[in-house]
């Protein structure tokens, strides 16, 4: 009987120890034997040169973005929080999205976000002239996204806010319609970078900043 109890104790201790070690290993710093599948952010996009609907490339660097914005005759504003210096944003009035004469609109603005020098997300916002114009903008942008990314994977509605979602191995794309404020948003997310160990560590350390990012960027929700 004593041997049975001893054996049970050893087994319980071993399982608990393995669970603790597994948790500690998963939360180890990225410099301590990093996973081969979770390389640093500069290597994640190494093989991809995909052009984004927003006018940027998945491999765009901050300097590339500045050049693209300036080449489009637009002026940008840089945003960087010293306490969360891994995040860098450029915002500008207008858009690099090639819409030719597809539709009219009241105004537009764009934002491109970087994490550790790699493109994290882009967002383009169109302000409609009226309700009819809002529908025209939505239909035109929807066709553009379907041409580039095929049919959306899902569609969600919350009150007057509607979102179409596309997803593949590298990107998550959102077309969001804010009927109340008559705005339409296109958001493109570098999902590989989001899944990297470095970004997850950043998210864990700066959860408040990540919640802001989650609300305003990932799901395309406009600022108040």
* Domain spans, the chain: 44-218
Both tokens of 12, joined, read: 């319980």
pLDDT, averaged across the chain: 80
pLDDT at 153: 92
Query: Under DSSP, is residue 176 helix (H, G, I), strand (E, B) or coil?
Result: strand
**Cα distances (Å, whole numbers) of residue 56 to 6, 38, 63, 97, 171:** 63, 24, 12, 9, 13
- φ, ψ of residue 89 to 5 degrees: the values are -130, 145
- The band of 217, judged by pLDDT with boundaries at 50, 70 and 90, is low
Q: Which pTM does this prediction carry?
A: 0.76
CA distance 10 to 4: 10
pLDDT in tens, 2-52: 554 444 544 554 545 555 444 554 555 554 445 444 445 445 545 367 899
CA distance 195 to 200: 7
Give strand pairing partners of 89.
Answer: 79, 113
Q: Are 186 and 145 in contact (CB under 8 A)?
A: yes
- Please provide the DSSP assignment of 68-134 as one string: HHHHTT--EEEE--GGGTTEEEEEEES-----TTS---SEEEEEEEEETTEEEEEEEEEE-SSHHHH
pLDDT in tens, 86-122: 889 999 999 999 887 789 999 999 999 999 999 999 9
């Amino acid at each position: 009987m004593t041997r049975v109890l001893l054996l049970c104790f050893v087994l319980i201790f071993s399982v608990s120890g393995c669970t603790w070690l597994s948790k500690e290993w998963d939360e180890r710093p990225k410099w301590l034997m990093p996973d081969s599948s979770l390389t640093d952010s500069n290597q994640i996009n190494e093989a991809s040169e995909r052009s984004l609907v927003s006018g940027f490339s998945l491999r765009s660097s901050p300097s590339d973005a500045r050049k693209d914005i300036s080449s489009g005759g637009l002026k940008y504003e840089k945003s960087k929080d010293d306490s969360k210096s891994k995040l860098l944003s450029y915002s500008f009035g207008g858009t690099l999205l090639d819409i030719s004469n597809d539709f009219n609109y009241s105004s537009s603005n764009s934002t491109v976000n970087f994490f550790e020098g790699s493109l994290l997300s882009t967002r383009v916002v169109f302000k409609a002239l009226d309700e009819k114009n809002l529908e025209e903008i939505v239909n035109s942008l929807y066709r553009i996204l379907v041409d580039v990314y095929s049919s959306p994977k899902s569609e969600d509605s919350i009150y007057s806010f509607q979102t179409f979602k596309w997803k593949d191995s590298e990107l998550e794309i959102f077309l969001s319609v804010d009927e109340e404020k008559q705005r339409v948003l296109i958001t493109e997310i570098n999902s590989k970078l989001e899944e990297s160990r470095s970004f997850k560590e950043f998210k864990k350390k700066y959860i408040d900043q990540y919640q802001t990012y989650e609300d305003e960027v990932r799901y395309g929700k406009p600022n108040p």
